[in-house]
């Protein structure tokens, strides 16, 4: 499998297991199954509400002794209610405790949006902190402090547009090493990829299969299905692969990491086996034509009464 190489020589396996929406029992089983079947990269987040179960899986697998902690790349994310300077390290320590780890390989600022510390998910305007109240640079400096303290090996961001990255980098003493964003054939993000490549920021593709199991409240009417797309289906037939494999391989081919979520054993295995699919020039050309700048996860769920999307994202390239 391909890896993404970091400046200090660390390598992140290109394919990881996503854990959003996976219940505790199922995620524990899924992570154990994935690790025992070749995965060496797991994507977590405090807000997924299951890090304690993922931690049980890590503890059991590492205690068995066949797979060592240092052989696995583990990412987690700082939730939006812990952006204040004093809250960053405690939030990270809670994640480390839940995951039963001494360190993370990668810690990301989950969104460029801040909530008040007692708010898990905002319900009204008062639940937010403005950028003046919680400047991203202050949150970022604490991420760097966490790295200095050895609690994390690498730090980055998620859901940042090129403009947001640029703003942060103007003030930062060290640049983000990763930007985790939604990425698939309907949202190819070529400009963002180019910006990141130029600035030596790695990219991870989330929701690579179209996030079909998102809660209904996060779905728009008549969303296009990626897995059922006729071009994808044609390529599937040509290579005797599955649609999931073609989509995952496409991400890997573009040099990004990719983190498909599954709690189903045969799909977990199938997704990792996508490395064996060989997409040719004509497949890649046809997939390139599928871009519709369509986001499954628009961030619109942060819109509350009177608090418009524009107030949260001040840049155009954040909209679908
Ligand atoms: N940074 C961020 O803001 C975000 C990060 N993420 C991360 O990215 C991960 C992946 O994204 P996510 O939104 O979960 O969605 P995905 O695009 O990975 O899709 C998950 C859905 O696809 C199904 N599935 C998995 N494999 C296959 C397959 N081979 N064929 C058909 N269906 C399949 C899963 O079902 P089943 O489980 O039954 O197999 C599930 O319903 C998340 O879990 C999370 O870790 C996601 C969103 C936002
Ligand atoms: O990673 C993600 C999935 O869950 C969250 C919602 O509950 C999203 O905000 C986020 O981007």
What residues form DSSP beta bridges with 304? 307
- With cut-offs at 50, 70 and 90, classify the pLDDT of residue 252: very high
Distance CA 202, CA 196 (A): 7
Contacts of 306 (CB under 8 A, 6+ apart): 125
pLDDT at 300: 76
pLDDT at 319: 41
Closest ligand 2 atom to Cα of 111: 11
- With cut-offs at 50, 70 and 90, classify the pLDDT of residue 306: low
CA 262 – ligand 1 centroid, Å: 6
* Binding-site residues, ligand 2, Cβ < 6 A: 20, 45, 47, 297
Q: Which domains does the chain have, with CATH numbers?
A: 3-312 (3.20.20.100)
DSSP letter for 150, please. Answer: T
pLDDT at 37: 98
Closest ligand 2 atom to Cα of 77: 1
Minimum-distance ligand to the CA of 159?
1
Angle at 38 (CA atoms; ends 32, 39), nearest 5 degrees: 65
Q: How many residues does the chain have?
A: 320
pLDDT at 304: 59
Region label for 210, one of left (φ > 0), alpha (ψ between -120 and 50) or beta (otherwise): left
Distance CA 304, CA 140 (A): 26
Six token digits for residue 61:
């697998």
Annotated binding site for substrate: 110
Provide the mean pLDDT of the chain: 94
pLDDT at 313: 47
Distance CA 238, CA 254 (A): 20
CA 274 – ligand 2 centroid, Å: 25
Closest CA to 210 of 270, 172, 251: 251
* Mean pLDDT on 234-258: 98
Name the helix (H) or strand (E) containing 318. none
Distance CA 8, CA 288 (A): 33
Residue in this structure with the two tokens 């190489």, named with its chain if needed: 5
- With cut-offs at 50, 70 and 90, classify the pLDDT of residue 303: low
Phi and psi angles of residue 5, each rounded to the nearest 5 degrees, phi first: -95, 135
Phi and psi angles of residue 18, each rounded to the nearest 5 degrees, phi first: -80, 150
Residues identified as active-site: 48
pLDDT at 307: 55
CA 46 – ligand 2 centroid, Å: 10
Model pLDDT for residues 75-121, shown as the tens digit of each residue: 999 999 999 999 999 999 999 999 999 999 999 999 998 999 999 99
Q: Is the ipTM of this complex over 0.95?
A: yes
* Binding-site residues, ligand 1, Cβ < 6 A: 18-21, 43, 110, 158-159, 180, 206-213, 227, 242, 244, 259-264, 267, 270-271, 297
Distance CA 79, CA 48 (A): 10
* Mean pLDDT on 66-77: 98
Asked whether the beta carbons of 60 and 92 are under 8 A apart, the reply is no
Closest CA to 75 of 32, 19, 115, 34: 19
Closest CA to 108 of 51, 49, 178: 178
């Amino acid at each position: 499998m391909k890896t993404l190489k970091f400046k200090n020589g660390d390598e992140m396996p290109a394919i990881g297991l996503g854990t959003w929406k996976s219940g505790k029992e199922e995620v524990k089983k899924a992570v154990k199954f994935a690790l025992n079947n070749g995965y060496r990269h797991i994507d977590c987040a405090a807000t997924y509400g299951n890090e304690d179960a993922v931690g049980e899986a890590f503890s059991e697998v590492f205690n068995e002794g066949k797979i060592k902690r240092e052989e696995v790349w583990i990412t987690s994310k700082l939730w939006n209610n812990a952006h204040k300077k004093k809250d960053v390290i405690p939030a990270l320590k809670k994640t480390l405790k839940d995951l039963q780890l001494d360190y993370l390989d990668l810690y990301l600022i989950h969104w460029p949006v801040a909530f008040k510390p007692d708010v898990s998910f905002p319900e009204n305007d008062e639940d937010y902190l403005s950028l003046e109240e919680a400047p991203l640079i202050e949150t970022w400096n604490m991420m760097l402090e966490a790295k200095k303290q050895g609690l994390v090996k690498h730090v980055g961001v998620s859901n940042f547009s090129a403009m947001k990255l640029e703003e942060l980098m103007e003030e930062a003493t060290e640049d983000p090493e990763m930007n985790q964003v939604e990425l698939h054939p309907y949202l190819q993000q070529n400009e963002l990829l180019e910006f990141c490549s130029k600035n030596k920021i790695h990219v991870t593709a989330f929701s690579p299969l179209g996030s079909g199991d998102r809660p209904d409240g996060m779905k728009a009417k008549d969303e296009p299905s990626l897995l059922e797309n006729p071009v994808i289906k044609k390529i599937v037939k040509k290579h005797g692969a599955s649609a999931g494999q073609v989509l995952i391989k496409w991400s890997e081919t573009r040099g990004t990491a990719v983190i498909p979520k599954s709690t189903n054993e045969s799909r977990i295995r199938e997704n990792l086996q996508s490395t064996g699919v060989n997409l040719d020039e004509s497949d890649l050309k046809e997939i390139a034509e599928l871009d519709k700048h369509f986001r499954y996860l628009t961030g619109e769920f942060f819109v509350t009464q009177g608090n418009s999307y524009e107030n949260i994202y001040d840049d155009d390239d954040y909209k679908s």
